[in-house]
Amino acid sequence: MELKEVIGRRRSIRIFASWRPVEREKIQKMLEAARRASCAGNVMNIRAVVIWRDQATKELIDSIKLPISYQQMQTAPVFILWYNEPMAYEGERWVKTVSELVETRRMGVDIEQTITEVKQKLAPGFLMNDPKVTGNSPGAIMDCGQAIAQATLVAYDEGLGSCLMGGPVLGRVGRRLKVPETAVPLALQAVGYPAESWEAGGQTAKPPLEELFSEMEYGKPFTSDPAVVAELERDKLIQTPAPLPWRDAELRALAKATDLDTRLWRDDAFEVLPDDPKSSW
């Protein structure tokens, strides 16, 4: 599939074919895509733990279930806990990853001169930084977001669907998975083959381009060119918006066929499990 079409087809999938296993190789491809994301100084602070539902303990799955009954929690065969490891920004390590960019000829022209510059001008700042602060800065979190986005697009390219989830359970899932104390869980991603049609009722509506983006100065909207819109429709990046006329019937049929709990809010909403739900959210 072409990249623009993958972007266009990506939409959160919330009802998975729980009976259809996901090939391990497809998850590996997602992780490889995450590993190749751009990130400041190539420090690579993104981390993840892959959870196969059929290999997980009941306690782990119970800790994943949100107090509200999201269908993705009930049906996804795979979950990925994505987390930030701020300690990747530990000073010496940061100097090393930037120096490696120079040594592998990815940055600078003259190796010796650039390494000297790194040591004299960048290293002092890197060595003084507090990884717990720098490693949790907006830039560091953005690096993780880029990695997760790349992995997500590969999932769709491989015919899978996914839904990212934040929420109060991330911390406790992280603890069950024994992630390091320093880890900052960012999102739990449900992954699987969609039980719903890939359209999932249409492309999720977004605010207009002009409302989100400016040109030259805040308040001067970046105006949308209809010819570009037409081109992106042709390339399938822009698709028919939700809801498609048959969406209601699809959802009702799926819920009936799969015996899903479709209530958004359960009576035990926000029940606190014994292992205190602490998270970054």
Ligand X SMILES: Cc1cc2nc3c(=O)[nH]c(=O)nc-3n(C[C@H](O)[C@H](O)[C@H](O)COP(=O)(O)O)c2cc1C
Name the site residues for ligand X (rule: CB under 6 A): 11-12, 14, 70, 163-167, 187, 204
Q: Evaluate whether 189 touches 164 at the Cβ level (below 8 Å).
A: yes
Nearer to ligand X, 50 or 149 (CB): 149
Quote the Cα angle for 199-38-220, to 5°.
70
Q: CA 221, CA 213: separation in Å to the nearest integer?
A: 6
Alpha helices in the chain (DSSP H): 3-9, 24-35, 58-64, 71-75, 91-103, 111-117, 123-128, 131-134, 138-157, 170-176, 209-212, 226-234, 247-258
Cβ atoms within 10 Å of 155's Cβ, excluding its own: 26
The nearer residue to ligand X, 70 or 79, going by C-beta atoms, is: 70
Nearest approach, Cβ of residue 204 and ligand X (Å): 3
Q: Residue holding tokens 């990925």? A: 80
Which CB sits closer to ligand X, 14 or 176? 14
Smallest distance, Å, CB 72 to ligand X? 7
Q: Which is nearer to ligand X, 95 or 144 (CB)?
A: 144
| Closer residue to ligand X in complex, CB, 199/235 | 199
**Minimum CB distance to ligand X, residue 164 (Å):** 4
CB of 93 to ligand X, least distance (A): 27
Cβ 40 to ligand X shortest distance, Å:
20
Cβ–Cβ under 8 Å, residues 14 and 70: yes
108 or 243: CB nearest ligand X? 243
Q: Taking the complex as a whole, how short is the minimal distance between the CB of residue 281 and ligand X, in angstroms?
A: 8
Shortest Å, Cβ 189 to ligand X: 9
**Which 3 state secondary structure label does DSSP give 60?**
helix
Helix (H, G, I), strand (E, B) or coil at 219: strand
- Sequence-separated (6 or more) residues with CB below 8 Å from residue 206: none
Q: Are 5 and 236 in contact (CB under 8 A)?
A: yes
**Cα(200)–Cα(58) distance, rounded to whole angstroms?**
29
Q: Which is nearer to ligand X, 40 or 76 (CB)?
A: 76
